[in-house]
Amino acid sequence: MKAALLEKYASDGRDLVVKDIPIPEITDDEVLVKVMAAAVNPLDNMIVRGEVKLIVPYRFPLVMGNELAGVVEKAGNGVKDFQKGDRVYARMPLDKIGAFAEYAAVRASALSKIPDYLSFEEAASVPRLPL
């Protein structure tokens, strides 16, 4: 799958690269989401510049992106609220981001179902606080 990776912090924010990486494996409490839309917010810029490294010391390469909307591809064994085909959106937990990719492994507790009246693009931009 294609993903936007940060390989090192960069004060000018120009060091994201798009590369092919494996589709992430999910744990029992996670959902594999096929990403249809992702939002860019100021936190993404802060991460690229290294401004949050004392709070969350990310390891490189890092798949960037905090907010997404997509379709459930697969649910972990412990996930009861989501099933394949559900339209979902998330504000990913800070310790495991990765919305700028074709697929993302997301904790079920960070997901919500998209209301029928929202598009993927609209849902990706809706603020949602992680649990």
Q: Which domains does the chain have, with CATH numbers?
A: 2-124 (3.90.180.10)
3-state secondary structure of 31: strand
Q: What is the pLDDT of residue 10?
A: 87
Euclidean distance between CA atoms 64 and 56, whole angstroms: 13
Identity of the amino acid at 118: L
- 46: phi then psi, degrees, rounded to nearest 5: -65, -40
State the pLDDT at residue 72.
98
Q: What is the pLDDT of residue 76?
A: 98
Q: Collect the ranges in the chain with pLDDT lower than 50.
A: 131
Instruction: Report pLDDT for 62.
Output: 96
Q: Which position has the token pair 């993404």?
A: 44
- How much is the pLDDT for 13? 73
From CA 12, how far away is CA 4, in angstroms rounded?
16
- What pLDDT, on the 0 to 100 scale, is given for residue 52? 92
